[in-house]
């Protein structure tokens, strides 16, 4: 395998594959942006090689099984597959990399921070959709920002567009 591309949309995956932009295109449709993040154990199981995870709880769950078999990636873990793809500057992930004290120190000192926009959205002072417009077709329905239903947290109800 030489070129691997990940996307969040199965339609896009098919189009990218058909256009020859990558040798292997996989859609990971599970969203990790709304609500609380899954636990570390759930994330580990999601991205690990498939063993006993229930249906839908694996990063390859949205890819047809015939395609996974054709590509030879059925039940593979994401890190394992990425390590075999072109584009990783540091090569395959190995135990030595995890035992490197300098890398471990860098990892422990790193901090994940929200951008100013992220803070404003979280505080309710900005609308994320203003910066991330939606325009796509889904099941014969055109989805756009103007046609988007919203959730009223206080009223615990859907608010129609308009």
Q: pLDDT of 54-97, one tens digit each?
A: 877 888 887 778 878 888 888 888 877 776 765 434 444 456 66
Check whether 134 has a pLDDT greater than 70: yes
Rounded to 5 degrees, what angle do the CA atoms 79, 103, 44 make? Answer: 30
Based on the domain organization, do 40 and 55 belong to the same domain? Answer: yes
Highest mean pLDDT among 7-11, 35-39, 145-149: 145-149
pLDDT at position 14: 78
Q: Are residues 138 and 95 in the same domain?
A: no
10 and 48 both lie in a single domain: yes
Q: Clarify whether residues 99 and 153 are in a common domain.
A: no
- Whether residues 138 and 81 share a domain: the answer is no
**Do 91 and 131 fall within a single domain?**
no
Q: Domain range for residue 25?
A: 4-109
Residues 99 and 125 in one domain: no
Identify whether residues 87 and 120 lie together within a single domain: no
How many structural domains is the chain composed of? Answer: 2
14 and 33, same domain (yes or no): yes
Residues 51 and 95 in one domain: yes
């Amino acid at each position: 395998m030489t070129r691997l591309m990940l996307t969040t949309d199965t339609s896009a995956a098919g189009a990218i594959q058909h256009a020859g932009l990558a040798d292997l295109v996989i859609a990971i449709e599970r969203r990790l942006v709304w609500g609380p993040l899954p636990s570390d154990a759930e994330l580990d199981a999601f991205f690990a090689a498939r063993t006993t995870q229930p249906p839908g709880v694996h990063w390859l769950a949205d890819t047809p099984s015939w395609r996974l078999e054709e590509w030879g990636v059925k039940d593979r873990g994401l890190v394992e597959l990425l390590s075999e793809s072109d584009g990783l500057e540091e090569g395959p992930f190995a135990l030595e990399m995890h035992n490197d004290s300098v890398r471990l120190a860098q990892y422990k000192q790193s901090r994940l921070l929200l951008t100013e926009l992220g803070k404003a959205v979280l505080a309710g002072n900005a609308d994320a959709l203003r910066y991330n417009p939606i325009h796509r077709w889904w099941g014969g329905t055109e989805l756009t920002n103007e046609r988007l239903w919203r959730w009223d947290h206080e009223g615990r109800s859907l608010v129609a567009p308009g």
